[in-house]
Amino acid sequence: MSLAGSTVGVLGPGAVGGVLAVRLAQAGVDVVCIAREATAAAIRSEGLSLRRGREIATEHPEVVERLTTPVELLLVTVKAPALDDALARVTAVADVIVPLLNGIEHLETIRARVDGRVIAGTVGLIEAYRENPTTIVQGTPAMRMTLASGADPRTVALLQSGGTDVRVDGSDREVLWEKLVRQAPVAAATALTQRSVGELRADADWRSRLEEAIAEACAVAAADGVDLPAAAQWEIIDAMPPQLTTSTARDVAAGRPSELDAITGAAVRAGRRLGVPTPTLERLLEEAEERCLAQSR
């Protein structure tokens, strides 16, 4: 399948978006980054660099403050607190839109605001952060992306061309809940404690608390029509690198707006909507939010 002439827009070339933008550009795909004015100016001047270990790759994608030209694929890679502002900078039509935000509530917001076919997606097996506006540091070697079953072969091929392991499996709800049931407890716990996944799972008290929270999240997902055994989620958590942390924890530590409400808050709100009690998740959210407030003072 020829990918010549394909254009991929990356709305928010931060950590995940920056990794994808550089790797797709390396593969010869036409990439246009949509960023705020200061970030756009910096990328125009210096390019966009991806550092993995001692390896540094720099690409010079097109970058704009507003997307006014249609693209074949639009990747929405901003964090939840920045979503409204980012969507206001997209006025062009995209054939396919793949949001890669955490949580479950963003999909309908994007469908209501942007013209194009929206397909749920999540990313995993990656730890990355933005060192500065033009440099992304990737601490893990791979990236896995899961797309809902509506993804067409060309979209999959485009993403695979950048070296991403792409899987197509499940409905929108199944794709989003599969990540959220473990992420909602872990994001709150790492933000609250500033401890790694390995430290938390090795602590008997914290492991017990996380087990309760994951069981609650799985019960909410089941009430929403998605059956996810808690034991399978623990297999994934136990296989994570021990030093792994979360972007939520890093944002809280730095006093930046975090995705805590979009991740843990979304699971709690879904529980209330569906009549499923989530006392452990609610308490984790409350304690993590208190940590956020203290950190921002």
Per-residue pLDDT of 268-280, as tens digits, reads 999 999 999 999 9
71-76/7-11 β-pairing: parallel
pLDDT category of residue 2 using cuts at 50, 70 and 90:
low
Bigger pLDDT: 140 or 26? 26
Give 113: exposed, middle or buried? Use CB within 10 Å, 0-12, 13-18, 19+: middle
Name 286's Cβ contacts closer than 8 Å, sequence gap at least 6: none
Bigger pLDDT: 111 or 126? 111
Distance CA 90, CA 94 (A): 9
Mean pLDDT of 244-257: 91
State the pLDDT at residue 6: 84
Phi, psi (degrees; rounded to nearest 5) at 122:
-140, 160
Q: Token digits for 265? A: 């808050």
| Torsion angle (degrees, nearest 10) of CA 205, 209, 210, 213 | 180
Mean pLDDT of 144-148: 96
Mean pLDDT of 269-296: 93
State the pLDDT at residue 4: 62
Per-residue pLDDT of 158-176, as tens digits, reads 999 999 999 999 999 999 9
Q: What pTM was computed for the model? A: 0.94
Q: What are the chain's domains?
A: 7-170 (3.40.50.720), 174-296 (1.10.1040.10)
Considering the chain, what is the average pLDDT of its residues?
A: 94
